Amino acid sequence: MTVKVPSAPAYWWCEWWGLNDYVRRRADMLAELGYVALPAGSLIRIAAFNGGADPMVSAEQVAAFEQEMKAAGADYLVVNYPGALHACTNPAADKAAAVFGLPIGYDKAADQNSWQRLQQFLADNFS
């Protein structure tokens, strides 16, 4: 039997690389329940945008993510924004940083560039 799988984007926006394990476990669980059905050899495309100065995400975590993607043969893109902190795409980040003493901050250039690149990524892969 041949199953045609339509192209549909799965959009995950999170700025914590440690969620790799959560996402993987969740995908496995959903697949077991029959919610996700991908034929063998399916190609999943991934775009990840990272604040390069984010103290909550180590360079080792980013490198491990990239190594895992390479080992899986994934079609992926990782963009690091030097100087950008955690929550760099959230215009309210500076206020939250001040109120809660968090090492987060808005970076207009990273926000605009990541949004533009995401739009292009979606157009290239799902149009």
Sketch the domain layout of the chain as residue ranges.
41-126
**Amino acid at position 63, single letter:** A
Residue (of 114, 125, 14, 19) closest to 65 by Cα position: 19
Over the chain, what is the mean pLDDT?
A: 76
For residues 9 and 69, the model is more confident at: 69
Verdict on whether the full-model pTM lies above 0.75: no
Q: Per DSSP, which regions of the chain are E strands? A: 45-51, 75-81
The label of the residue with tokens 């760099």 reads 88
CA 15 from centroid of its chain's CA atoms: 7
Backbone angles phi, psi at 112, to 5 degrees: -65, -40
Percent of the chain with pLDDT over 70: 65
pLDDT in tens, 83-115: 999 999 999 999 999 999 999 999 999 999 999
